Amino acid sequence: MNFPSAAIVLESVSKRYGSHTIIRDVSFTVDRGEIVGFLGPNGAGKTTTMRLIAGFTAATTGRVTVAGYDMATENVEAARRIGYMPERPPLYDTLDVSAYLRFVAKVKGVRRAALSGEMERVTAACHLEAVVRQEICKLSKGYRQRLGLAQALLGTPEVLLLDEPTAGLDPAQIQETREVIRDFGRNHAVLLSTHILAEATLICQRVAIIHHGQLLAIDSPSGLQRAMAQTNRVSLQVTAPADELRAELLSVKGVTAVRMLSSDRDGRRTVECQVDSDHGIEATIARAVAARWDLHRLERQAPTLENIFLQYVADRSDASEPA
């Protein structure tokens, strides 16, 4: 298949170590001028996928293409077009910041005439001016993360791979880093792995959710919200008979399902209603229930990206359990 606008292409990619499968039949693309967020819990396969794209390891089956180059046969050419920031940036503690960036620039083949300009560009973009002559071993965690991003930006690569780029940064530094990534992503392809779900909402055009090595979904944040309308839930605590309460709730227009979660010895029940997107439905439920029984609590759960992620993971976990 051809993907003319895509800078990153994974086609049915799997990665196995012996009998253990880390990545299973993953396919997605990242276009030029697009930032894609890669979300998943620890051990989901995010870092392994990043390493496959960066060329640190090879796919067992399937095909990985970067900037039009096949990573199985043309990985040297592909590597020249990749900027990679792993979760633990490859820093040399005995060098100062300036010497380290010069070393990385030379390794990347930055021309001598362009070296000074490149150094100034990434130093300013990552706000490293205050520590440019400081030894790396003396840098704070936040500055080490910034330096890791700076080395990835050197040479203006076509593809930028970022594994947890804001880990260890304070709120101001996180905002600055997001601006750098957002600006770079206007003309380049960026794949951003993160546990910070707000990050995907703020700077990514699309979000990919991975769990147990399988891609569960990939869409825009708003698209995922629409697709997961079932994460709209109203939970309530009521003192009422179970069967009558269930029937009353299901009679409310917009309530599509009811789950009885728990009850105590006094008859107080915790109930969860799956509802449509009508934001007035909780008031309708409250009136219907309070007219007959004691209503102790009612709250609405909206389809936030975090709820969507947890719902996808829960649905896949439920589907994998034996009947």
d(CA 214, CA 206): 17
Q: What's the topology of domain 6-226?
A: Rossmann fold (3.40.50)
d(CA 81, CA 271): 53
**Which residue reads 């930006």 in tokens?**
153
Q: Where are the domains of the chain?
A: 6-226, 233-301
Beta-bridged to residue 169, according to DSSP, are none
Check residue 200 and give its pLDDT.
Answer: 82
**Which residue reads 């900037």 in tokens?**
67
3-state DSSP call for residue 163?
A: strand
Q: What's the topology of domain 233-301?
A: Alpha-Beta Plaits (3.30.70)
Check residue 323 and give its pLDDT.
Answer: 42
Q: What is the pLDDT along the chain (323 residues), one digit of tens a residue?
A: 667 679 999 999 999 999 999 999 999 999 999 999 998 887 889 999 999 999 999 999 999 999 999 999 999 999 999 999 998 888 999 999 999 999 999 999 999 999 999 999 999 989 999 999 999 999 988 899 999 999 999 998 999 999 988 887 888 888 888 888 999 999 899 999 987 777 788 899 999 988 889 998 898 887 776 666 656 789 999 999 999 999 999 999 989 999 998 888 888 999 999 887 666 888 999 999 999 999 999 988 766 666 677 767 666 655 555 44
Sequence-distant (≥ 6) Cβ neighbours of residue 26 within 8 angstroms: 10, 12, 13, 14, 45, 49, 62, 210, 213, 214, 215
Rounded to two decimals, what is the model's pTM?
0.76
> Which residue, among 35, 46, 49, has the nearest Cα to 206 in the 3D structure?
35
d(CA 115, CA 109): 10
